[in-house]
Amino acid sequence: MTDNWTARLSEYLDETLAPTERQALAAHLTGCAECTATLAELRRVVARAESLEDRPPRADLWPAIAQRIGASAAVVPIETRRRRLSFTVPQLLAAGIALAVISAGGAWLALRSHPVAGGGHLIAETNAGAVRWVSAVDPTYDRTVSELQMALDDGKRTGRLDSTTVRVLEQSLATIDTAIAQAGRALAQDPGNVYLNHHLAETMRRKLNLLRQASGISQRI
């Protein structure tokens, strides 16, 4: 059996009734055992719905998807996706922001380390052939990165950095390296792009700073 209020119980449950209606229904519930019981059941239905577990498909769908999007296991060559380049800049901006936070690994280390002295001079400017220009700004970049990487490896080998730290650092560095590679490929398609120049330079600088801070703390401990 139902009464006039039964149809409003879901709205009462969801708190979408107007205040006066809600008050009236609340008053009704105090004297109607049937509506009170129905409300409790509806509450259980909602809770049950919220607890439904998501399940993956029985078979992996990725091979078929990869085939449909024209992807192999490797990175899709950017030349085949030139039309998407128009979207690359804002998306790379998002990546830049994400990487800045990812470098919180470095931020944490910075709390324990001395200020980084003399950051690499990698600021780019509008210039054709920008990929070459960025790496030419600081000819010692590769050597510096290599030396810092060795210092970090030494920290890992000697156990001065624990495994969690090493894992986070390696993940951050891998992400940064991927971003550098992507930005390099994008620049190869659009060498005069100011944002991409800055993005690449910033990302390279971030890698340098992360390595400096990580190896610095490793040597002091």
Partner 1 sequence: MTPGVATLRKDPASAAAESEAADVALAASGDARAFERLYRTHLSRIHSLCRRMMDADQADDLTQDVFVRAWQKLGTFRGEAAFGTWLHRLAVNLILGRRKALAVERGRRDSDPDTLDELVGPAETPGMTMDFEQAIGRLPDGAKQVFLLHDVAGYRHEEIASLLGIVVGTSKSQLHHARMALRKHLD
Taking CB under 8 A as the criterion, which residues in 153-182 touch partner 1? 159-162, 164-165, 168-169, 171, 175, 178-179, 182
Least Å distance between CB 26 and partner 1? Answer: 18
Q: Using the rule CB under 8 A, is 188 a contact of partner 1?
A: no
> Is the CB of 7 or the CB of 117 nearer to partner 1?
7
Which one among 25, 35, 102, 173 touches partner 1, defined by CB under 8 A? 102
48 binds partner 1 (CB under 8 A): yes
CA distance 175 to 95: 10
Helix 194-220 to helix 130-137 angle, to the nearest 10 degrees? 30
CB 214 within 8 A of CB 155: yes
Which token pair is 164? 């969690």
CB closer to partner 1, 41 vs 142: 41
Contact (Cβ atoms closer than 8 angstroms) between residue 183 and residue 89: no
User: By CB under 8 A, which span of 22-30, 93-101, 119-127, 143-151 interacts with partner 1?
Assistant: 93-101
Distance, CA of 133 to CA of 128 (rounded, Å): 8
With binding defined as CB under 8 A, does residue 111 bind partner 1?
no
Using CB under 8 A as the binding rule, whether residue 38 contacts partner 1 is answered as: yes
The answer to the question of residue 209 lying near partner 1 (CB under 8 A) is no
Q: CA-CA distance, 116 to 208, in Å (whole number)? A: 10
Q: Which amino acid is at 37?
A: A
Residue from 75, 123, 188, 194 touching partner 1 (CB under 8 A): that is 75
Q: What is the CA radius of gyration of the chain?
A: 29
Name which position in 3, 26, 27, 91 contacts partner 1 (CB under 8 A): 91
